[in-house]
Structure 1
Amino acid sequence: MSDYAASLSVEGRSRRRWVVLLLCWASLTMTSVDRSTWGPASLQAGAALGVSLAGLGAFATAYYVGYVLSNVGGGLLGDRIGSRVVLSGSLFTAGGFMVAFGSVSSAGAGIAVQALIGLCAGADFAAGVKLIASWFGERERGLAMGVFTMASSLGTMIANAVVPRLIQAYDWRSSYHLFGVVSMGLALLCLALLRDRRELSVRLPPLRGLVRDRDLMLLGLAGFGGLWGTYGFVTWSNTLMVRGHGIDPVAAGTVVVVFAAAGAVGKPVIGLATDLAGRGRKWPAVAVLVAFAGCLLVFGGMESESAFLAMAAVAGLGAYLYSPLLVAMVPGLSGTALAGSAAGAMNALAQLGSVTVPVVVGAIYQVTGSFSAAFATLAAGPLVGAVVLSFVREAGTAGRPSPQGVGA
């Protein structure tokens, strides 16, 4: 190949990777919107379906049970048949079940459909990590994963900004119908425009090493603690502010929007900062988790709308800034060839925090009636996560050399 042709190939690949990142981000944003819709819709949906306050957590838990299962399966499948098909199919089917949930008439059917939404939606995370890991080198992954994981924050923002207003204008079902249709349309666009890096396709190494990898396991447990706090807040904060302190539902939604907006802005910033510093991502993530635990304790002691708004942005930074750092560490531990499987397994373990926290916090609030007790329960997660993360041996350190092909 001539130097000119080679330069054109590199330039085309450089442009293509930003298209890949944009579509992965958009897909994860929509599944995050779908996931976050239950928080602001839960009181009205629960009343329509005859569900008690404590029972509302069962819907979120059903979603996350399906989500955890599809993270593992989606990661394995993406490494073998290609992440483009897995990501597009995940988003399309999740959108279809969102539309179905907007038409359910009983609590049992609603819980079952929520589990199906999660079962379809979870595969896009691992598929997106694999695509980004294959198109971006190690020195750029902090920024790339920061942009990619902005999606979870933006999903929370969009749901909490739009859903309360849709409920006021129409009803809770309209939000599920709208977001479901948008998800299905975006899935078709992803199928048309995404591309796997075929030149990086190699014979996959055995998965036994991932299963036995101490550091990947600890990384997943650290994520468990972080997501316990993050999605416990996202799932319950609206209801707890409305029921515990009489905050207007739209105002409570605005608090969560500010909370998520801070995370959305901060994720690419901390990713780029760690890329430029080149000193690793573990200890910045530990510091963020400790700060998040403190913020949740402070938030639980507040009572007024103005106080909640003032604290929301600080708490949002803690709730989201650890995630791009943890995700960017995954390909360094597993190697690019198994990045999808490793990301799916790590996120599945981490998402168990999302599975358990809605029911636990709901039960504690039901028994105690205490706003502060509920938030102290949330704060325990990131604190434990910080302790666990401190024992991870980051790739490239003396205790953990980088795997073959990590910088691909």
Structure 2
Amino acid sequence: MQPQTTDTGSSGPVTGGERRGWQPYHTLWAVLLGGWLFSYADRAITGPVVTWLINNDIGLIGGSSHPHALGGLIGSLFFAGYMLTQYPGGYLGDRYGHRAMLAISLVWAGVTTVLTGLITGLIVFVALRVLTGLGEGVFYSNDRTLIAKHSPPGKVSLGMGVVITGLSLGLTIATIGAPYLLDWGVDSFGKEDGWRMPFLVLGGATLLFGFVMVPYLRRLGGPLKAGGPTLRLLGISALFCAAVMAVYLVADSAGLPTWGVAVAETVLALLLVGVIFARRGGQAGAIVRNRDAMLLSIAAVAILWNLWFFSFWSVSIVADAAHSSFAQAALVATFNAGAGVLGFPAGGLLSDWAKTRGWGRRPMLVWFTLIQGVLVLAFGAYLQMAGKPSLVVMSVMLFTASLFFNALQPMAHALVAEVVEEHQRGAAFGMWNLIGEIGAVISPALGGALFDAYGTWVGAIYIDGGLMIASAVIYLYVREQRTAPLAPA
């Protein structure tokens, strides 16, 4: 048994008398924001590439009899892998150090994304997307934990909101850059292999950023000691990847519908993580027995469902509804992704503001979630009733709904940090994302299957909005600890 390690450094919490200007924790926020940007660009590029393959009838996916269902399944399998390492990633971070896990995750994402652009064959393509998800799955829980530890108490939610702005930037870069990268790929490799260029470019950029991030993390708290956790993560990932691919191949050969394969992968993920809980019963059991942590985790299913339904299919939703070009649809879809640049930090700032006044974070979280669900339902109703939806109206509706959606996320993250003990935060954030990823695993495949069956995205959009409203109801039962108002940092 190796001793538990912790991260220390000069960016520790500031409790009072903080000087004005740039602070060490601001540097931490900026570096972690970059990590989110590159890792999310790597994962989000799959959706636009799949849409391009379908529109151009490219053999990798476009030749399928149900291309949207197959494309959505690929996205779902990525998140099956991503889901599986949520809790192990948090546990390994609590044990070996959160900085080491962040470095491993980013380098891993860069390597597997580059390899995705080099391979040939659908099965290998799917396997590499699963492996990318397994590596990126450890980023979230360790990132949230470092922010909670190294930020002033009155700025924890703000820090989480600022950092996760990288998610929105990564989605925007992947969405708006896809047409140009694909055109470059066609010019360089030919039409059949043009899809490779986005993976090569974004994977290479992630590796370059990793070379910048790793030295900073060393300066933050000393040597990373990444050997032990890397070997542990490789062993876990080899097992999980084999299990995910086995379920995919067996279910596909049995003729199971794509949404059924996604459900089967979700069940597999929960069973495998259940084994981990049985072996690591102490800390995992403490999180499972924490009523408020589990309610927040269950409510996260709607958050991850919404995030990856729209992130994966937004270009296709716009293109199919308005009969627009791929480039026009990508531009409109960026309004959904880009709203996070404002929404994430604004939500964090509002959450901390409410907390400092003794109101708590939960009331604002409930209202923002409810409003977002209603706005999604309104977007679906507009698509259903409009003969030919306006690109301008769709842009405004996507931006508004996404603004509330992105703002509510740092509110939920800060609540997770506050309902558990400090030494349990890595495991708690891992649990939150683990359960929440059920939504990310099912929504791309189910959305694609519904479109292939009915020729419209409206039904899938209504399901999305309904889940967000149900999430708002769950938040009502979270017992937030009401303490004296925090002094502004």
User: In structure 2, what is the equivalent of residue 402 of structure 1?
Assistant: none
Q: Cα gap change, 1:192/1:69 in structure 2, threshold over 3 Å: closer, same or farther?
A: same
Deviations 1:122-160 (A, max 9, x none): 111111111111101332111101102212211111111
Q: Tell me whether 1:17 sits opposite 2:25 in the alignment.
A: yes
Q: Tell me whether 1:295 sits opposite 2:380 in the alignment.
A: no
Q: Tell me whether 1:105 sits opposite 2:116 in the alignment.
A: no
Paired residues for 1:143-154 under 5 Å:
143-154=158-169
1:206 offset after TM fit, Å? 4.0
1:393 offset after TM fit, Å? 1.0
d(CA) in 1 for partners of 2:467, 2:44: 20
Deviations 1:150-199 (A, max 9, x none): 1221111111111122112323211111111111121222211125669x
d(CA) in 1 for partners of 2:196, 2:53: 8
d(CA) in 1 for partners of 2:434, 2:413: 12
1:396 match: secondary structure: coil
Paired residues for 1:156-235 under 5 Å:
156-170=171-185, 171-194=194-217, 206-235=283-312
Deviates more, 1:53-62 or 1:167-176: 167-176
Q: What is the root-mean-square deviation of aligned Cα atoms in Å?
A: 2.7
Partners of 1:88 and 1:188 within 8 A in 2: no
1:54 match: secondary structure: helix
d(CA) in 2 for partners of 1:16, 1:194: 12
User: In structure 2, what is the equivalent of residue 401 of structure 1?
Assistant: none
2:339 match: secondary structure: helix
Q: Tell me whether 1:327 sits opposite 2:413 in the alignment.
A: yes
Deviates more, 1:384-393 or 1:38-47: 38-47
Partners of 2:107 and 2:206 within 8 A in 1: yes
Partners of 1:156 and 1:256 within 8 A in 2: no
Residue from 58, 66, 69 that aligns with 1:54: 69
1:280 match: secondary structure: coil
Matched AA of 2:324: I
d(CA) in 2 for partners of 1:232, 1:206: 32
Partners of 1:84 and 1:190 within 8 A in 2: no
Partners of 2:354 and 2:361 within 8 A in 1: no
User: In structure 2, what is the equivalent of residue 283 of structure 1?
Assistant: 363
1:207 offset after TM fit, Å? 4.1
User: In structure 1, what is the equivalent of residue 133 of structure 2?
Assistant: 118
d(CA) in 2 for partners of 1:59, 1:206: 33
d(CA) in 2 for partners of 1:62, 1:123: 16
Q: Tell me whether 1:241 sits opposite 2:350 in the alignment.
A: no
d(CA) in 2 for partners of 1:308, 1:262: 14
1:40 offset after TM fit, Å? 1.3
Q: Tell me whether 1:272 sits opposite 2:349 in the alignment.
A: yes
Percent identity over paired residues: 27
1:49 match: secondary structure: coil
d(CA) in 2 for partners of 1:207, 1:304: 49
d(CA) in 1 for partners of 2:198, 2:451: 27
Partners of 1:333 and 1:394 within 8 A in 2: yes
d(CA) in 2 for partners of 1:256, 1:397: 41
Alignment TM-score, normalising by the size of structure 2: 0.75
d(CA) in 1 for partners of 2:404, 2:175: 19
1:265 offset after TM fit, Å? 0.8
Q: Tell me whether 1:367 sits opposite 2:458 in the alignment.
A: no
Matched AA of 1:115: V
Q: Cα gap change, 1:396/1:208 in structure 2, threshold over 3 Å: closer, same or farther?
A: farther
2:418 match: secondary structure: helix
User: In structure 2, what is the equivalent of residue 3 of structure 1?
Assistant: none
Deviations 1:287-342 (A, max 9, x none): 12211222222222232212211212102113311111111112211122221111
Partners of 2:52 and 2:326 within 8 A in 1: no
d(CA) in 2 for partners of 1:107, 1:309: 34
Unaligned runs of 5+ in 2: 1-13, 186-193, 223-281, 384-388, 485-489
Partners of 1:92 and 1:184 within 8 A in 2: yes
d(CA) in 2 for partners of 1:25, 1:241: 28
User: In structure 1, what is the equivalent of residue 478 of structure 2?
Assistant: 392
1:159 match: secondary structure: helix
Matched AA of 1:49: L
Alignment TM-score, normalising by the size of structure 1: 0.89
d(CA) in 2 for partners of 1:197, 1:37: 33
d(CA) in 2 for partners of 1:313, 1:153: 12
d(CA) in 2 for partners of 1:53, 1:104: 22
User: In structure 1, what is the equivalent of residue 235 of structure 2?
Assistant: none
1:208 offset after TM fit, Å? 2.6
2:478 match: secondary structure: coil
d(CA) in 2 for partners of 1:246, 1:115: 32
Partners of 1:223 and 1:323 within 8 A in 2: no
1:247 match: secondary structure: coil
1:274 match: secondary structure: helix
d(CA) in 2 for partners of 1:362, 1:144: 35
1:61 offset after TM fit, Å? 0.5
Aligned residues: 389
Q: Tell me whether 1:84 sits opposite 2:99 in the alignment.
A: yes
d(CA) in 2 for partners of 1:16, 1:96: 30
